[in-house]
Amino acid sequence: MSELSFIHGKRKLLFCADPEGAEVCHRLAAQARKENVPFEFHILKECDEAFVQQWFSMQKMGAYLYISGKGDFVEKVKVRAMEAGFSEHEMQTAIIGPVRKRLVCCTCHGMNEWDDQDEIVCAHCGQQLEGSTHYSRRLGGYLGYVSIK
Amino acid sequence: MNTTGNLLSFPYPFGDGDSYRYSNNAIPLNPPHPVEITDTYIGELKLKRELLTKHPERCYYSSPHTLDAQWEIVDLIAHHLAENYPDQFMLNKQGDNWEFSNLQTDEKISFLFGENTTLSLEPLDFIGRHVQEDLILMMQRDGDLFLDAGQLCFPANWSLYFDAGMSFKEIHAPIPGFHKESLDARILQFLMRIEAGAPWGRKNWSLMAGSRLDTSLETFAKWGQERKKVTKENAGKLVHFRVEDQRLFRLPKSNAILFSIHTHMLPLEQFVQHSPWLKQFHAILKELPPFIADYKGISLYRGAVLDYLEEELKKHE
């Protein structure tokens, strides 16, 4: 799990957590209150896409985002945040529990659960895939290659 | 595919020397043309448009904040085509009312420049369907370049869908040795300093088994199999020398970079007809380090190609 750290000099802090991830944000929110930095705190059972989209799109320059929760939750909220214009320099994430990796099939673009095996069979098109370290933040997954033997 | 009889018009990529390594081999582009029309124009345009229709998810990507930069690309390319190929293209402008004519395809497109709703496609997707090049748009921000839009039909085994939105270094991370001695950082710095009005060009090369232009990563399972079929006997016809003529333009208003890629291919049997190329390429291929041969996808059949080239060298002695 990555530690979240308090960033000074931001116009506003946003905390987006699922029930598991809320606790690690509380400490930072308490500090924000103490230092009179405006903040908003939302605990969501799951990534409510319409809500976060609306929430993020209302933000102005200088807003800083913390996302905390299960791997899936963090990944989905992060994608929405980046769509709304947050860069990776404007957010921190903390994953609670196991980090599940995903492999994107190079043939059909399907997403597969991946536990670092050398090879898997794509669940969508049946293609044999080799894992790699090539990672897409946009897709939240690693690239699975086809190899010719 | 380059089927021209004029062999020497092929963009041979090597300078002096009998070895090849990754480097920043860009040179000032002269003449400063973003695209080039060759005699395979109609066939390649048809193929491009078919791919874009059938596989939009792998051939086109754009992020919404790129539209202004996309219009700059339309401006650059439409003017270039009309000025340098006046018998094939026309551009009539009344203020912002533009009419672009492609005489070879017999198309006339009218639109209000800068007004997205007046085109049926996004600006980059529209102008890209009139040129043979793949067009990649890199936006510059936070001291980095990001692949934020592109029309890509003839990739050399990479995926626009997967790489979309990535930074320059992220895109190139899979290239072995590219990070060594900070080559990636130095090339990024070079790209970020490119100035408007002073474009650059470079050539990249590879070999491929087969003659497909659309060697996307998505279809690798199909075309990659050809690599297993190469022999000394069939290499001249089956194996093609593939060159990407790459050009880099700064777009002054958006401060983005246009990266155009024109892919040329020549079967080895034609390539070897020019003795100096045969000699130099034989030396380069023989010396090529395995990590580069692997990345270029040559390793499986390098031996067969070398045997073929050596036999040709004997004929030329």
The pLDDT value recorded for residue B283 is: 97
d(CA A66, CA A83): 16
Predicted confidence pLDDT, tens digits, chain B (317 residues): 444 457 889 999 999 888 999 888 899 999 999 999 999 999 999 999 999 999 999 999 999 899 999 999 999 999 999 999 999 999 999 999 999 999 999 999 999 999 999 999 999 999 999 999 999 999 999 889 999 999 999 999 999 999 999 999 999 999 888 887 788 999 999 999 999 999 999 999 999 999 999 999 999 999 999 999 999 999 999 999 999 999 999 999 999 999 999 999 999 999 999 999 999 999 999 999 999 999 999 999 999 999 999 999 999 87
A12-95 is a CATH 3.40.50.920 domain: yes
CA-closest candidate to residue A8, choices A69, A85, A56, A62: A62
Helix (H, G, I), strand (E, B) or coil at B253: coil
Q: Which of B21, B186, B193, B202 is catalytic?
A: B202
List the domain boundaries for chain B: 4-315
Tokens of residue B142, six digits: 């936070």
Closest in A104, A143, A148 to B224, CB measured: A148
Task: Give pLDDT < 50 ranges for chain A.
Answer: 1
Closest in B218, B225, B227 to A107, CB measured: B218
Using a CB–CB cut-off of 8 Å, the residues of B that contact A are: 57-58, 141-142, 159, 161-166, 170, 173-174, 217-221, 224-225, 227-228, 300
**Interchain pair B224, A134: CB under 8 A:** no
Q: Chain A: residue nearest B159 by CA? A: A106
- Number of Cβ within a 10 Å radius of residue B10: 18
Q: Is B202 a catalytic residue?
A: yes
The pLDDT value recorded for residue A82 is: 85
d(CA B82, CA B89): 5
d(CA B305, CA B61): 36
Contacts of B225 in chain A (CB under 8 A): 148
**Interchain pair A133, B161: CB under 8 A:** no
Closest in B141, B164, B218 to A138, CB measured: B164
Query: Is residue B263 within 8 Å of residue B204, measured between CB atoms?
Result: no
φ, ψ dihedrals at B45, nearest 5°: -65, -40
CA-closest candidate to residue B74, choices B261, B258, B201: B258
The pLDDT value recorded for residue B180 is: 79
Buried b (16+ CB within 10 A) or exposed e, B150-175: bbbbbbbbbbbbbbbbbbbebbbbee
Q: At what angle do helices B275-287 and B302-316 cross, to 10 degrees?
A: 150
**Which residue in A82, A87, A102, A107 has the most chain B C-beta atoms within 10 A of its own C-beta, making it the best mutation to test that interface?**
A107
CA distance A92 to chain B (A): 17
List the domain boundaries for chain A: 12-95, 102-146
At B245, which helix (H) or strand (E)?
strand B239-251
Beta strand A141-144 with A101-105 is: parallel
At B262, which helix (H) or strand (E)?
strand B256-267
